[in-house]
Amino acid sequence: MNIIAWIILGLLAGAIAKAIVPGYQGGNWLATMVLGIVGAFIGGTLHSFIQNGSLQLTAPGLSIGGVVIAVLGAIIAIFLYGTLARRNV
């Protein structure tokens, strides 16, 4: 059941992040899901760092707060990917 929650959270967070960030990000539903899952880990780790003051690789659960944290992490992931892609061109 945990894997299904990760897939749902990834698709939801990735789709919302792609809708918020201006421009064309490309990718299919699988890339959107991976973006959301990576965003969940980035957002969860940053949330853990702000809350506890220590870096722990963690991710939020499937809740409203978890989706918000995952979307913020996915927006950061889109920004980082765009920055690295422009640097390599």
pLDDT digits (tens, 9 = 90+) for 22-60: 888 777 888 888 888 888 888 888 888 888 887 777 767
DSSP H or E segment with residue 68: helix 64-87
CB 4, CB 11: distance < 8 Å: no
Quick one: which of 60, 49, 52 has its CA closest to 12?
A: 60
- Checking if the pLDDT of 5 tops 60, the result is yes
55 burial via Cβ count (<10 Å: 0-12, 13-18, 19+): exposed
CB 41, CB 69: distance < 8 Å: no
pTM above 0.85, yes or no: no
